[in-house]
Amino acid sequence: MPRTMHDSFAKEWMQEMLTDFGQVEIEKQLAGEVRKIDVYFSPNPAALGDLTSLGLLGRMVTTPAILEPFRNPASEWDIRGTREKLFQLEAELARDAKRKKQKFLRRDRPFAWVLSPTFSKRQQTTFHVVEKKAWGPGIYFLPSPDRTAVVAIHQLPKTIDTLFLRLLGRDKVQADAVAELIALPLEHPYRSTTLHHISRLQINLQVRQNKTKDLWEIMMNLAPAYDKWLAETETKTQTTIALRMLDLKMPIETIAQVTGLSIEVVQSLRSADAASS
């Protein structure tokens, strides 16, 4: 997938997921040379308790954070570039605090998360990274002053806690995450939002010309989520129409014929509607 398309999906999806918990800026412009941060998040302390529903992603943004997702493995240059963006942003935040005569505390300093589908042994050695038991496998921290970590998505354990990050992976990692997303309870707060954004990505991929092998692979991975979203959207529309027709006291048989719902489903809707009245 072209990086720009992956960027659009990841940034817009994260923006919608994180908006309830603080201030989200996508493509945040840095001063000086033209450089942009994919996602910059500043948490709202009053909403942090709800971040647990985002699993590991929620834990990563309990403090100010830069999130830089990469479709292809992040190169040495990509990681260095993210680190440099972090230093530049921190300097800007410190200057802004000084201008406002406010203290720039340690907790105000952002942390950078590089989201990469893989992270080679050679790169681990190059950047002198360490894993921390409290964070589990697949997360590699650069030396402390760098305030940067690389998330190797393919190494994350297959748990509900890592699901939303594994959706940004590749090949089987992404396909398995999509299947797990579909299997989430319908009432999960971010299931519907994520299905919607994956479906938008799938539509964008479908209309592209000259699809590469990589694009076909991604489309195959996303297809189950797209099909599920279509089915649930259709059912939601049919249910809405049926409820309106019930309000008009129309016969159940007519409602079933118009909406395509079974008579049993329409009867259950009428019973539920009557119970809530």
**How far is 138 from 247, CA to CA, in rounded Å?**
54
Residues 107 and 213 in one domain: no
**How far is 50 from 34, CA to CA, in rounded Å?**
35
**How far is 30 from 251, CA to CA, in rounded Å?**
62
Q: Are 88 and 35 in contact (CB under 8 A)?
A: yes
pLDDT of residue 132: 94
Residue 254 identity: T
Beta strands at 139-141 and 148-152: parallel, antiparallel or unpaired = antiparallel
pLDDT of residue 182: 78
pLDDT of residue 102: 84
Domain that holds residue 177: 170-277
Give the three-class secondary structure for 66: strand
Of 82, 80, 70, residue with least CA distance to 36? 82
| Phi, psi for residue 44 in degrees, rounded to 5 | -95, 110
- Against a cut of 0.75, is the pTM above it? no
Query: How wide is the angle at C-alpha 264 spanned by C-alphas 259 and 270, nearest 5°?
Result: 75
The residue with tokens 């539509």 is: 203
Q: Are 270 and 252 in contact (CB under 8 A)?
A: yes
Rounded mean pLDDT for each run of 10 residues along the chain, 277 residues in total: 61 78 80 75 76 86 91 92 91 85 82 95 95 94 94 94 88 84 77 73 64 63 64 68 76 78 72 58
Domain boundary among the residues 169, 199, 230 is at 169
Domain boundary among the residues 169, 191, 221 is at 169
Beta strands at 22-29 and 36-43: parallel, antiparallel or unpaired = antiparallel
How many distinct structural domains can be found in the chain? 2
pLDDT of residue 55: 87
DSSP-assigned letter for residue 45: G
Residues 270 and 137 in one domain: no
Residues 225 and 110 in one domain: no
Q: Are 165 and 194 in contact (CB under 8 A)?
A: no
Residues 177 and 156 in one domain: no
Residues 157 and 81 in one domain: yes
Domain boundary among the residues 120, 143, 169 is at 169
